[in-house]
A and B are shown apart, each in its own frame.
Chain A
């Protein structure tokens, strides 16, 4: 009728001899001819229409189900992300930043070791001398020493730089 176009004789010959193959093939043809001579009454068109309508309903229901399922999956995925985010904030808080502080002991070491307690008097004398020079410079700036102010100022600056150099050399 549609697909059964296989070679019947060849198939039969695998099981029967030549004469039997021929007879069996004839029987098949006669039998199928008999069936074809009694056509089945056609299916009622209402039945066909009803089937098509039922299929339409099923397909629409399936589309709805698919949509609901995909929405459910999206909502579930969002929920999981939110839960993970909350859990992350709750169980893994931001690490505290360490403050960088200068060790007091370190600074003590510098002062104690380099200068020592014995040099306090020397330090005080130097500070006094610097103050004196600064006062002189201020006087010159205020023009208290007349025209020679420029030369005096240069001398004073040279003196300050020498004192500073001596101080840092120890």
Chain B
């Protein structure tokens, strides 16, 4: 309850344009948002870029958040979700444009991949990549976003039952993949 009150105060100060309040907001949410992006992209550099985009967007849009009635987490992860979708669209366009040079790019990508990136890719990340993008995002909204199924349903404009079913199937599939991998 006290944490909620603190958060409200921080957001109110952010809306008033306080740099200190924004710093606190970054400290509070950077880790969760980074994890969300990281599990969806599997790339530390891209995740950092997306995280940066998210917080800069937050500076622009914080005035539109309704402090009295809204859930900040839901609002924040709605923006994060939109940013990730934009990223996917951009990626898709780039892939289409550069389809002819696929092999060349593959070689370049391998050469530019940092050691840190290589080290960060864990077992879960490999298996997550096998899920479709939509299911993976639902799982991340639930797990890293900390959103309720009702909130996810609102963000995705889908019935709660559909969201429940998709998350359930996704988690089951992930467990199977992980078990299969271990065998």
Size class of B's contact patch?
Answer: 35 or more
Selected contact of A48 from candidates B30, B142, B147, B151, CB within 8 Å: B30
Measured between C-beta atoms, what is the minimum distance from A62 to chain B in Å? 7
B139 within 8 A of A: yes
Rounded to whole angstroms, the CA-CA distance of A41 and B23 in the bound complex is 21
B44 within 8 A of A: yes
Which of chain A's residues have a CB closer than 8 A to the CB of B60?
A: 58
Q: Please tell me if the beta carbons of A44 and B38 are within 8 angstroms of each other in the complex.
A: no
A38 and B26 in contact, given A3-B146, A3-B148, A27-B172 (Cβ under 8 angstroms) = no
Binary A-proximity of B51-79 (CB < 8 A = 1, otherwise 0):
11001100110000000000101100000
| Number of A interface residues in the complex (CB < 8 A) | 37
Which of chain B's residues have a CB closer than 8 A to the CB of A24?
A: 164, 168
Q: Please tell me if the beta carbons of A59 and B174 are within 8 angstroms of each other in the complex.
A: no
Q: Please tell me if the beta carbons of B22 and A27 are within 8 angstroms of each other in the complex.
A: no
Q: Please tell me if the beta carbons of A51 and B52 are within 8 angstroms of each other in the complex.
A: yes
Chain A interface, DSSP helix/strand/loop, else mixed: helix
Could you say which of B91-99, B102-110, B119-127 contacts chain A?
B119-127
Selected contact of A47 from candidates B48, B120, B148, B168, CB within 8 Å: B48
A107 within 8 A of B: no
Which of chain B's residues have a CB closer than 8 A to the CB of A34?
A: 124, 171, 174-175, 178
Rounded to whole angstroms, the CA-CA distance of A40 and B143 in the bound complex is 12
Q: Please tell me if the beta carbons of B59 and A58 are within 8 angstroms of each other in the complex.
A: yes
Measured between C-beta atoms, what is the minimum distance from B136 to chain A in Å? 11
Q: Please tell me if the beta carbons of B34 and A40 are within 8 angstroms of each other in the complex.
A: yes
Binary B-proximity of A10-51 (CB < 8 A = 1, otherwise 0):
011011000000001001101110111010111110011011
Which of chain B's residues have a CB closer than 8 A to the CB of A55?
A: 19, 22-23, 26, 55-56, 59
Q: Please tell me if the beta carbons of A11 and B160 are within 8 angstroms of each other in the complex.
A: yes
Q: Please tell me if the beta carbons of B171 and A15 are within 8 angstroms of each other in the complex.
A: no
Q: Please tell me if the beta carbons of B171 and A32 are within 8 angstroms of each other in the complex.
A: yes
Chain B interface (Cβ < 8 Å from any Cβ of A): 17, 19, 22-23, 26-27, 30-32, 34-35, 38-39, 44, 47-48, 51-52, 55-56, 59-60, 71, 73-74, 120, 122-125, 139, 142-144, 146-151, 160-161, 164-165, 167-168, 170-172, 174-175, 178
Q: Could you list 6 examples of A-B contacts with CB < 8 Å? A: A27-B171, A35-B143, A43-B51, A55-B26, A59-B17, A59-B19
Chain A interface (Cβ < 8 Å from any Cβ of B): 1-6, 11-12, 14-15, 24, 27-28, 30-32, 34-36, 38, 40-44, 47-48, 50-52, 54-56, 58-59, 62-63
